[in-house]
Amino acid sequence: MYDLTIIIPTFKEESNIGTIILEVDTVLSRNAINGEILVVDDNSPDRTIEIVRNLKKSKPNLNLIVRKEDPGLSQSVVEGFRQAQSDVFLVMDADLSHPTALITVMLEGIHAGNDLVIGSRYMEGGGIKKWPLKRRIISMGATFLGRFLFPEIHDPVSGFFAVKKSVVEHAPLRPRGYKILLEVLGKGTWQKAKEIPFEFVDRATGSSKLGGRTIIEYAEQVIDNARFSWNHHESIIWQEWVKLFKFGAVGLSGIIVNEGILIYLKGYVQLSLPVASIIAIELSILSNFILNDTWTFRTGQQHAMPHWWERLLSFQVVSIGGAAINFVILNALAAFTGVDYRVANILGILIAFSWNFWVNRRVTWKKSE
């Protein structure tokens, strides 16, 4: 048994595999970590396997799995999870894109009680070196989609992460494509995750095998994970659904508040319609805020905006933005397309609702880090 298993998936990495193994091994021995290095190769036709076998002669902690069926990066990582001889796994690429210097930091994060420690490119201190524009755009799209499921996580598609065995042990993972981390986040059993920024350095030699097919697989994977949570209420994604439902329920309650106050102020107090309506709108925004603050987004944790009045101000601004979105969509569709104004309004409401939820979730009620 080891204290840590470094899982390195490989396919045609003859130019990098020797270097990465030596680098990892140096980190392990310098820090007196009893670690296993597990290379999971998809039967590479180049010299990758031969190089690992040769190194293995002098390194008893180096192990190799050669897979012959169902090739794929994610599948290989999951095979690594199955055969690893420790309770902590750290997944990293072979092409020197991930800094081995962070191995100790990530392991410390696990020992500090995190179920997952993620090497993140998309947070302060992190970044990407030498990526073509096209690759950057694809990656940002993937990250954006992933953040719908995990709003707290900056880089849910990173290929560099450490995870406790207990997180993935019983998880019904359906590995495919490149984004194994998303699958682990969606289906694994975990509570606490931490991110550590790092700078991704694109490979100097060899080539990435990420292609058009990967993008489609990824979209399927996102949908599959969202669906999975629907009947697995212990999953982290389910907690997002719950917030969305609550936020929707609060929105509906706001309609009743708005209408009730309007009737009262116009009919009984006999204020003019514009004045009554402004007050009714504002009071419904306030009641929505109170319900969302004390119910929808109530957590044990600190908010990034610690004072209630900061959150109120933010919510107020977002609500005005939402109303503007509703207004513009309704009027633009009605004026420039043949869409019936009633249908246009429903569309406007839905888009404004999505905006309200998304921005409030990510800004107003963001958790502090």
Binding interface with Mn ion (CB under 5 A): 95, 97, 203
Cβ-closest position to ligand GDD: 159
89 binds ligand GDD (CB under 6 A): no
Q: Do 215 and 138 form a contact (C-beta atoms < 8 A)?
A: yes
Stretch that binds ligand GDD, among 25-33, 71-79, 240-248, 276-284 (CB under 6 A): 71-79
With respect to ligand GDD, which residue has the nearer C-beta, 95 or 115?
95
Write out the two tokens for 245. Answer: 């439902």
Q: Minimal distance in Å, beta carbon 362 to ligand GDD?
A: 21
Among 5, 15, 63, 97, binds ligand GDD (CB under 6 A): 97
Q: How many CB atoms lie within 10 A of CB 289?
A: 22
With respect to ligand GDD, which residue has the nearer C-beta, 95 or 240?
95
Kindly identify the residues of this chain, within the stretch 123-182, that bind ligand GDD according to CB under 6 A. 139, 157, 159, 178-179
Q: How many CB atoms lie within 10 A of CB 16?
A: 22
Q: Minimal distance in Å, beta carbon 87 to ligand GDD?
A: 23
72 binds ligand GDD (CB under 6 A): yes
Name residues whose C-beta falls within 8 Å of residue 266's C-beta, 6 or more positions apart in sequence.
273, 276
With respect to Mn ion, which residue has the nearer C-beta, 96 or 329?
96
38 binds ligand GDD (CB under 6 A): no
Stretch that binds ligand GDD, among 109-117, 201-209, 297-305, 333-341 (CB under 6 A): 201-209
Residue with tokens 């990530």: 106
Q: Minimal distance in Å, beta carbon 180 to ligand GDD?
A: 7
Among 25, 95, 195, 293, binds ligand GDD (CB under 6 A): 95
Q: Do 92 and 159 form a contact (C-beta atoms < 8 A)?
A: yes
13 binds ligand GDD (CB under 6 A): yes
Q: Minimal distance in Å, beta carbon 214 to Mn ion?
A: 13
41 binds ligand GDD (CB under 6 A): yes
Size of the site for ligand GDD (CB under 6 A): 24
Distance CA 27, CA 85 (A): 19
- Picking from 142, 173, 191, 167, the residue whose alpha carbon sits closest to that of residue 300 is 191
**19 vs 26, 48, 96, 246, 255, CA distance in Å?**
11, 12, 8, 51, 63
10 binds ligand GDD (CB under 6 A): yes
User: 244 is in the binding site of which of ligand GDD, Mn ion, none (Cβ under 5 to 8 A by kind)?
Assistant: none
Stretch that binds ligand GDD, among 38-46, 184-192, 244-252, 254-262 (CB under 6 A): 38-46
Cβ-closest position to Mn ion: 95
Among 6, 37, 40, 237, binds ligand GDD (CB under 6 A): 40
With respect to ligand GDD, which residue has the nearer C-beta, 210 or 244?
210
- Picking from 90, 121, 94, 93, the residue whose alpha carbon sits closest to that of residue 106 is 90
**164 vs 133, 194, 233, CA distance in Å?**
35, 13, 21
User: 314 is in the binding site of which of Mn ion, ligand GDD, none (Cβ under 5 to 8 A by kind)?
Assistant: none
Q: Point out which residues pair with 38 in neighbouring strands.
A: 7, 63
List of residues contacting ligand GDD (CB under 6 A):
9-11, 13, 40-42, 71-73, 76, 93-95, 97, 139, 157, 159, 178-179, 203, 208-210
